[in-house]
Amino acid sequence: MPFKPGESGNPLGRPKGFAGVAAKIMKATRNGDELVEFALKVFRNKPPRAKKGETAKPPYSIEDQMRAHQWLTDRSIGKALAVIDANVGGEVSSPHAALLEQMLRETHVEKDRRLAELEAKAKADAKAKDGADG
């Protein structure tokens, strides 16, 4: 049954006690740090320490790594817009596939450098505009 404009899709709101669960998770994971550390280990395919006499091998599949990438990305730069390709029977391609591959190759250093360049350009543009207006 569709909702009317302005009507909540969840009129009862979040279940009671949810805030308590979130607080317990944050406390148990050093304010969420352990969750991030685990996701980074999966993303980087860092194996757990091997037992004595065994060789450590990367335990995570590419699917695991992609899920970790998605989790980290969603929580750092926000969720991407959903794109659905209903190409049935053929290879499914996303218009964002090239962008995703590029993002996977970029390092945090490169992203920080690009962000600094954009901030510097924005400041210069604002200064030029203020000079032109004044």
Domain positions in the chain:
18-81, 95-134
Give pLDDT, residue 30. Answer: 93
Q: Are 98 and 85 in contact (CB under 8 A)?
A: no
Residues 6+ apart with CB under 8 A from 29: 35
Per the model's pLDDT, the better-predicted residue between 40 and 1 turns out to be 40
Alpha carbon of residue 109 to chain centroid: 17
Sign of the alpha-carbon torsion through 126, 131, 132, 134: positive
Tokens 């599949």 map to which residue? 61
Give pLDDT, residue 87. Answer: 55
Give pLDDT, residue 90. Answer: 52
- The model's confidence at residue 92, banded by pLDDT at 50, 70 and 90, is very low
Tokens 């032109």 map to which residue? 132
Give pLDDT, residue 34. Answer: 92
Query: Distance (Å, rounded) from C-alpha 124 to C-alpha 116?
Result: 12
Give pLDDT, residue 37. Answer: 92
Q: Mean pLDDT for the chain?
A: 77
Least confident of 38-42, 72-76, 104-108, 121-125: 104-108
Give pLDDT, residue 100. Answer: 63
Residues in the chain: 134
Indicate the burial class of 32 (C-beta count within 10 angstroms; 0-12, 13-18, 19 or more). middle
pLDDT tens readout for residues 26-80: 899 999 999 999 999 999 988 777 778 877 776 788 899 999 998 888 888 877 6
Per the model's pLDDT, the better-predicted residue between 128 and 11 turns out to be 128
Helix pair 33-43, 62-76: axis angle to 10 deg: 140
User: Could you tell me which of 21, 19, 20, 3 has the C-alpha nearest to residue 11?
Assistant: 3
Tokens 């757990």 map to which residue? 48
